[in-house]
Structures are given as C-alpha cells and as structure tokens.
Structure 1
Amino acid sequence: MKTEEIIPSAARLTNSMRDLGYDFVTAVADLIDNSVAAKARRVNITIHFAGTDSWVRIADDGDGMTGVSISEAMRLGTARSYDNADLGKFGLGLKTASLSQCRRLSVASRTDRNRAHVEARCLDLEHVTETDRWEIIHLSRLERPEVLTAPLRSSTGTVVLWENLDRVLNHRDPWGGWAQRLLLNLAERLEFHLGMVFGRFISGEASRKRPLTITVNGNVVEPWDPFVRDEPKVEPLPPREFEVGGGLVRLQPFVLPAQRDFSGDAAWKKASGTRQWNSRQGFYIYRADRMIQSGGWSWMRTADEHTKLARAALEFWPDLDNEFQINISKMRVKLPEELREKLDAPVAQLLKRAQEKYRGGERSSVSRPGRRTAPPANPPQAGKPSGPGSADTGSGRDRSGPVVPHPGTPGGTAGGGTPATSTAGSRRTGTRIVDPEPSGAAAALQRAAGRVGQTAALALIRDELRRSEPEAARDLGW
C-alpha cells in the first residue's frame, strides 16, 4: 500500500484554532482544569495592564511538569491518557484556550521542591506564521521574563503567561482608559465565573482531598452556590439517579425561597448572580464536580416567571462524555434523549412545586425525601413550549411530530457556549420550525419589529446574537 504523510500547514492551523468558541473567562477556566489535575491547592491569576505589553498570568502550586512534559503539552493533541476524575479530555485545552486570547503563550514549571530548576517553553504565533512550522521555543534563563518565573521561586507548580493579547485588547488604542477599564471588568467577570464553575472545589465539596483557593488580582474567589443551601427556606426535593449509557446521572432538584422568604435583599441579589432571576432557573450540569452549564432547561421547557424558583443539579462523570456530547471547550452539553424521557416526570414535579411557592401556596402532594409518591398520570407541563401543532399528552412529549434536540448549549452554559445552528431554541412540528414563545425584553422586541415590518430582520439579529454573543441573547430571553 502506497502512503503519503500530509502535514497540515502550521500557520493556517494555529490561526484556525483561535476560533473554537472560547471567551476570556472560559479560556482561563480551561487552564484551571489543568491545575486541578496537577493537585494544586492554590491558583493565582493576575491581569496586568500595560497597554500593548499587557499580560495575563495563571500560576498554580501543583506538581509541576518536566521540560519533556511541557513540550508534550504544547503538542496539538497531547499524547496522554485521562482518568475518570480528570477535567481534561481532548489534549487541546492549553493551546486552544490560550491562543483564543493571545498570540504568545509561555509555560514555565518546577517539579522539585528541593531544587530551583525551572523549565520554560514558548509558543509564538509570529514565529509559527513566519516559519509555517509547529515549533516551540526553549526559553533560556536570560530569555525568560521575570513575570513568568517569579511565582516558582518558593514552590513547585506551573505558570502560564499570555502576552500579545490581541483578542482581549483589540481596539486601535490599547493605551486608552477604555482598555484599562476593560481589563478591570474582565477581572470582575472572571471572579464570578470561577466561583460558579469551580464552586464545589473552592468550598471543599468536590471529591478531592483539599479545597482549592483561587485568587484574581489578589482577591480571593468566593464559591457561588446556585441552590442557596445556606438559606433556611430553600426546599430540596428527593434526589433521583438514572442509568444512561452504562453510567449514572444524578438529579437533585431545589425550590428556592421566594424573595419575601430570603434572609435579606443582598442574599436575594447574590442568588441571581450576574443575570436576571428568570434566566437562572433550570439545570446546573456538573461534569466531575465542575459546572459546565448554568441554568436553562436544555430545550425541555422554556423559562417562565412563575417557575423561576426551580433549579436542579444534574451530575455525571467523564465516562458519559460521549452521551452528553461534550465539546472541546467544555462549554456545550446536550442531554441524551434517553435521559430527557426519564427527566420529564421529576422536572414537571419540580416546576409544579416552584409555581406553588412563587404564588405563596402550601406544599402539596410532592414526595418528601425517603418517601416515593407516584407522579400523576398527566403531570402539569409548566413552562412547556407551546405553539402550532403541539399537543400536551401528559408525558412531556410532542406527539404531533418528532422533537429535534438542538446541538448547541441549551439555556446558557457556564461558559456561554455558542449554538450550532440558527434554529436555537426551536423545535420541529411536522414540517415547520416553531420558536418557543418569547417573554420579557425578547417579546417586546418582537412586537416592535412586527409593528414596523422588520420581523425577518429581528430574526437575523437574534440568530447572530445566539452565535456571537450567547450571554446577551440569554439575557434577552433568546
């Protein structure tokens, strides 16, 4: 058999890799996955403004890497195996996450507490573009910037340094006040995002020996609990476990207190995080204790004011990655169809109780922990998408036509993933595509577009927002 090795163009491939859907906060979170795998107890993130010389540094005190290991980590498709507790998956995160934000990536590491020996490597897109070769640069002591090696003076660990932040400071005036404010805002966004994504690791709930401490510009990141379990009147419903694809998925529903029952206004506001309360209802999906989706009903239901107190933890481990179709950036997840069917009854029960609490009603015949109560034959489908051709059969399924689950991130990910097609949030009934009924700002925009005859233009704007700015789309109710 005659064969021929075809080596990809390094210059083209590296530039293509920059557009895999990361934003700043999700890119940093991807690197912290590596710190967790290295048994780090502390991760310090520094965002430094210096105009065109601005930089971002992620430093941990983990086990560190040898020079050979750093070189392998910078390979496209790292040749390493992952166990069931690892947060990594594809061997691409260090490169794809970093290059999505910068053009120069440097890594330094120390493995021996008794020796000050540090290994350092650099991947510079200017060099790759010029040579069209996937080459990394071995940094000698004289070539290493001080900010790269300083955190390794007193401990083992790994430091990742981003320079030439063209995707972060992409304005023509990187020295302007706007640029400094931008980095300040990014630091604030990053604090909340990391407290949400790694909340279980920070609080000590994750299945590891010790809690993780994360700082951003010296500020200690606080864990954000979407289920406000420290509030006296939060109501956990009975947990459920489902077998899917040979593995287990665990569901833990919660009904949050109404605003009048919170311990204070500050606690109520904190429970909404950085978004509105309506957009926070739904599934919080955890993969190996790391949050990868924050709210949204994964196209099983639509957000509704009367069910905004309903939230549920949905947990699985990496052995079910294929079933959940995790993408490279770990920002998109799709519920297996087998699991959707099993979730119908407990989700309907959760929404029913959330509506009762929202309206100030007393607890009805919802099963309590330790007791099993058969669901009604036709459970209420609160928040069920409706539209022409739909039929409520009591099972949560549309019998008039097959439901086509969307491949993108439903309802909002922890990282703000990007929908894969322009029919995000839609469902197919017969031969028609029907969008869920909008609410709030989205409904007002749709009515205004109808009055001025620009409904088609609004649909294009909606789809573009879903693609390029998913967080803004979710805030509008799209």
Structure 2
Amino acid sequence: MTANKFEIVPEIQRTVALPPKASINAALGANHDIRTGLDELVDNSIDAGSSMVAIILHTRAKRIVQLSIHDDGVGMSKDKLEDVLRLGGHEAHSEKNIGRYGMGLKEGSFSNADETMIVSRVRGQHMVGYQLSKTSFDAGLLSENSCTQVWNTRPDSVKSSSGTSIVWTKLPNVYAGTDDQEAGRFLNRVSEGIRLHLAIRYHRFIEDGRLKLDLYSQVDDMLPISAGPIRGVNPFGYRRSARKQYPLRLTVNGDPEAPGITAHLWTNRSKTDEFNLEGKDELGHQGFYFYDADRLITQGGWSSFRSPHKQWKLARFEVDDPRVIENYLTISPQKGSVRLHESFYSFVKQLRNPDDTSIDFGRVLEDAESVIRASNKKSGKPDPLADTGRGIARSIQEVLWASERTKSADPINVAWGEVGDGGLLELDHSEHLIIINEDFRAHFTHGHVGLNDAPVLKTLLYLLFNHLLSSGRWTGKSASNADLWIAMLNAALEEELDETEKVRKRVGSAFKGESAGF
C-alpha cells in the first residue's frame, strides 16, 4: 500500500537543543503581587514540614527595601536546592504536598524582586545558598559568609537548626517616591494586606495549630518587631448559620462514601472579616471555595460554572475532597484559580444530601434566595448607632455590623476609671467616652476583670448614651438629659448595693448560727 500523498513522514537528521532564553523570567514574573508571591513561598515551607514561618518587611524611611521569609522546615541539601531552583523542579504532588508544578518559588520571587537569595540548612549539615537574578537562568553560589549573613536575619521564633530563608531585594513594585506620608500609607496597606491574605489562605493550618505565621517589621538595623501571630480567617466561620440544618453535605447520589461538597449559608448583612474576606463585595463572595491539601485556592466565585446573582450572595460551597480536586478540575500553576472539567457539571447535577435526597445543589440556591427575602422583609431599619469602640466585646460589635445600621460618627468607648463625684459614671463628650467608676468594678465583674468585662452593663450604657455622645454638639439639653439619667443610675446603684449588703448580712448570720450549732 502506498502512502497517502498528503502524509509527510519526517526524517530526523539530528536533534537541536532549544533552551528558553533568560527573558522568559520576565514573563514568569508577571503573575503575582506581593501577597500571592508569598503564598508560593509559604506553600514550600508547609511542604518542608515547617511549624513556624516568619515574614519580615525591612524598611528604611518608611519605604520597603527588602522582604524576607524564614521557616523552620527540614531544609534542603545542595543537590536538592539546585533541583528546586530549576524551572519545573519539585517533588511529586500528593494529598499532603501543596506544590504541583515546580514554578512557585521562581514565579513568586521574580514577580516581586529583581534578585532573590535562598539559603537553606539541613540539620547536621552546612548551610548552602544561591542568588537568583531575573535576567539570567544561572544561579550564583553564595559564600559561607553571605549565607551566614542571611541566616542571622532570622528572628528568634525560627532560630532552629534547620530551615530555609529567602530574601527578596531590588523590589520593583513598592513605593519609591518622596512623599513620606504616602510611603507610610503604602507600607500599612501592604502589611495589612499580607496579614489578611495569609490569614484566609492558610486558615486551616493556623486554626488547628499546624502552622504559626508571624509578620514582622524591621526598621534599618534595629531588631525585627512582631505585631503578633496571624489569626486565621475562616470563610465558613459564622457564629450561626442562616438555616439551622446548614452546613449540609452533598454527595454523588446521596451516597455518604461518595465524593461531595459542603454547602454553607451565611446570615445576611455580616460585617466580619470572615464574610468580607479581602474586601466587601455586594455579591458576597458567593460560590466555590476549592482547597488543595487544606490550602484555600479560591475565595468564592463560580469559575465559569454560572454567573453570580445577588440573591445567592450568602451561599458558599466548600470543595476539599481530594477525589473532586483530582478528577473534576485543574488548578492553575499560580494556585489562585481553577479550570473546571466538563465532568464537573455532571458531578454537581448528581449531588444530593445523604439524609434527604430531595435536597440538591439547586435547593441550596433556593434556600439562599429565601434567606435574603426573609431578611429584607423583617428589616425595619432601626435607628443608626455610632460604632462600638474600646471596652466593648467584638461579638457585640459584630451584631451591630450585621444590622448595617451604623452612622458616620466616632465610636463610643467605655472604660473603667476615676469618677469625680464618686457616682457610677461620668461622660467625656469630646472623647466619646463613658467612664465607669473603678471602685464598683468588682461588684459588676465578681472579680473577673478584663478588657471586655461586664459586657451587659457596658452595652446598656453604650445604648443609653449613644445619641448624646455621637451628636455633633453638646447642648444644655444634652447636659440635662445626661445629668438626669446618671442620677437615676446612681440611685439604682445605691439600691443594689443596699440589697447586696442585706443579703451578705443574712448569709453571715446564718453561717454563724450553723457554726454555733456545730
């Protein structure tokens, strides 16, 4: 049989190597900002068995001049470090291993630094280090002295005998202007942005104690200062669900052992970080939350599954089953988005609740809509209040935020202190402050003092004096109302103290009688 005239059979004379040009590093460095670039490095630290990761913003005159990240993982030998620094070099992915493509360290670093130093140490071995440059595929082997200098920048929290330190220098994406105020604002935005972003991405690791993340600032050659460990922010960390049967597990055909997802319904008008995540969205960050080896990949969104809808803004779907991750979608190399396979759509159609197979994915969206409708119907729009300030527990603040009825005014603060006339309290209108007499603190707290003690008393006083303290002017009428209300409270306190003393005497007399009988 003769070959088809359109068929070409190639004859290979020799093979020509076509390595990529160094300019590809610029393309690799176009996929991350500082926050997501740090994600890649934290991923590597987790895969290396780290329990502590410290990030340091090195500043000079309020300008970020260097950024470093340090961990207490197992470290890397010279051979392993060289392999990791090659494009595509990485360990095989597993359910416990976040790394997938061997691109993260390079992409995250090249996006944020023209030069990167990596120093690593395996327990019992000498440290080894390299410098990467965005303009070359070559890596510069660091001297022992340079490795030691990098290692000595590690804060006390990661003073271990093994681990890895990465230093970004020559940062192209930071403020370099002459306005000191703008430099300070930029520094604060970056610092808080990093803190919140990592708190969300790694909330599972933080909450169960597997990982401690700490953000430091270091001014010139001073010691780094920590703002405290990063607290996890759980996208499903509501105090109560909008419907008592939620969260709901949905699995293929309602089989408890089959792959599935978990459906959540938030309450309406929440103001918490857990609901607003990295920024308030009128659509509520609805949609899928994909996890890979417990690391959050997406913060909501439908990944082209469907278009967002305002009536579904309270619906969130937790997708962390490894069988779903491996079989129905592809995670992007930057691990910040996913591409759904065609099979994912049929997978969702088969989802049912094992306890009630009439409940499917569509039913969850219907429930989300009904919660919105019910919330809007019973929203009588209470009078707006000034926000709560110092001295009032966060849980009380969250209730106020959920109402979405705060007004533009300085927060009302409550504090224990000296009261001139010896009464229960006094007001400081200029400071928007309620001062409760320290002498009565033990009476209201039963000896259990703290920043947010006596929450009922403080909340009632906050509500009573909210309008007076948040008004723009302190008039004669305001002063008269305040004097009357405080006088009534002082009288009530005297009655309460008298009753308390009577009870104490009765109990004391009864105790003496029992002792005499004995």
With normalisation by structure 1, the TM-score equals 0.64
1:200-248 CA-to-partner distances (Å, cap 9, x unmatched) read 11112xxxxx5211112223111111122443656424312349xxx97
SS of 2:194 mapped into structure 1: helix
SS of 2:191 mapped into structure 1: helix
State the distance in 1 between where 2:336 and 2:108 align.
12
SS of 2:368 mapped into structure 1: helix
Deviation at 1:185, TM superposition (A): 0.9
1:259-311 CA-to-partner distances (Å, cap 9, x unmatched) read 4xxxxx764x6522222252412211112211111112233443333322211
User: CA 1:174–1:315 in structure 2 vs 1: closer, same or farther (change >3 Å)?
Assistant: farther
1:271 paired with 2:264, answer no
Deviation at 1:175, TM superposition (A): 7.7
Matched with 1:198 is: 202
SS of 1:49 mapped into structure 2: strand
Higher RCO structure, 1 or 2 (CA under 8 Å, sep 6+) = 1
In structure 2, list runs of 5 or more residues that go unmatched: 1-11, 217-225, 352-359, 376-518
State the distance in 2 between where 1:215 and 1:100 align.
22
SS of 2:166 mapped into structure 1: strand
Q: Any residues of structure 2 matched to 1:76-475 within 5 Å, and which? A: 76-78=87-89, 80-112=91-123, 117-125=126-134, 128=136, 134-144=137-147, 146-151=149-154, 153-166=159-172, 168-169=173-174, 173=177, 176-204=180-208, 211-217=210-216, 218=226, 219-231=228-240, 235=244, 236-242=246-252, 249-259=259-269, 267=272, 270-273=274-277, 274-317=279-322, 320-321=325-326, 323-344=328-349, 346-360=360-374
Deviation at 1:358, TM superposition (A): 2.0
For the 8 Å contact 1:66–1:111, the answer to whether it is kept is: yes
Higher helix content, 1 or 2: 2
State the distance in 1 between where 2:275 and 2:55 align.
25
SS of 1:239 mapped into structure 2: strand
1:335-375 CA-to-partner distances (Å, cap 9, x unmatched) read 222222332473311111112222228xxxxxxxxxxxxxx
For the 8 Å contact 1:287–1:318, the answer to whether it is kept is: no
User: CA 1:233–1:240 in structure 2 vs 1: closer, same or farther (change >3 Å)?
Assistant: closer
State the distance in 2 between where 1:139 and 1:276 align.
46
Q: Any residues of structure 2 matched to 1:58-77 within 5 Å, and which? A: 58-77=69-88
SS of 1:355 mapped into structure 2: helix
User: CA 1:315–1:80 in structure 2 vs 1: closer, same or farther (change >3 Å)?
Assistant: closer
1:53-104 CA-to-partner distances (Å, cap 9, x unmatched) read 7111111111111122111111111154232321011111111111011111
1:368-397 CA-to-partner distances (Å, cap 9, x unmatched) read xxxxxxxxxxxxxxxxxxxxxxxxxxxxxx
User: CA 1:174–1:90 in structure 2 vs 1: closer, same or farther (change >3 Å)?
Assistant: farther
1:23 pairs, out of 30, 33, 36, with 33
1:55 pairs, out of 60, 63, 66, with 66
Q: Which amino acid aligns with 1:15?
A: A
Aligned residues: 336
State the distance in 1 between where 2:281 and 2:90 align.
42
1:39 paired with 2:55, answer no
Q: Which moved more, 1:94-103 or 1:74-83?
A: 74-83
For the 8 Å contact 1:282–1:311, the answer to whether it is kept is: yes
SS of 1:11 mapped into structure 2: coil
Q: Which amino acid aligns with 2:230?
A: V
For the 8 Å contact 2:328–2:343, the answer to whether it is kept is: no
SS of 2:192 mapped into structure 1: helix
Deviation at 1:179, TM superposition (A): 3.5
1:372-423 CA-to-partner distances (Å, cap 9, x unmatched) read xxxxxxxxxxxxxxxxxxxxxxxxxxxxxxxxxxxxxxxxxxxxxxxxxxxx
State the distance in 2 between where 1:255 and 1:50 align.
46
User: CA 1:149–1:120 in structure 2 vs 1: closer, same or farther (change >3 Å)?
Assistant: farther
State the distance in 1 between where 2:134 and 2:83 align.
18
For the 8 Å contact 1:148–1:161, the answer to whether it is kept is: no
SS of 2:93 mapped into structure 1: coil
Deviation at 1:6, TM superposition (A): 2.5
SS of 2:177 mapped into structure 1: coil
For the 8 Å contact 1:148–1:160, the answer to whether it is kept is: no
With normalisation by structure 2, the TM-score equals 0.59
SS of 1:202 mapped into structure 2: helix
State the distance in 2 between where 1:180 and 1:248 align.
52
Matched with 2:13 is: 2
Bigger CA radius of gyration: 2
State the distance in 2 between where 1:307 and 1:26 align.
27
State the distance in 1 between where 2:247 and 2:261 align.
10
Deviation at 1:7, TM superposition (A): 3.8
1:316-341 CA-to-partner distances (Å, cap 9, x unmatched) read 43884574122210112022222223
For the 8 Å contact 1:281–1:309, the answer to whether it is kept is: yes
Q: Which moved more, 1:136-145 or 1:102-111?
A: 136-145
Q: How many percent identity over aligned positions?
A: 24
For the 8 Å contact 1:84–1:319, the answer to whether it is kept is: no
Deviation at 1:173, TM superposition (A): 2.4
Matched with 1:464 is: none
SS of 2:302 mapped into structure 1: coil
1:151-188 CA-to-partner distances (Å, cap 9, x unmatched) read 2654311111111101x22x562785434432321121
Deviation at 1:149, TM superposition (A): 3.9
State the distance in 1 between where 2:119 and 2:179 align.
28
For the 8 Å contact 2:328–2:344, the answer to whether it is kept is: no
1:127-162 CA-to-partner distances (Å, cap 9, x unmatched) read x2xxxxx21111113334734443265431111111
User: CA 1:155–1:35 in structure 2 vs 1: closer, same or farther (change >3 Å)?
Assistant: same
Q: Which amino acid aligns with 2:198?
A: L
Q: Which amino acid aligns with 1:156?
A: S
For the 8 Å contact 1:288–1:318, the answer to whether it is kept is: no
SS of 2:107 mapped into structure 1: helix
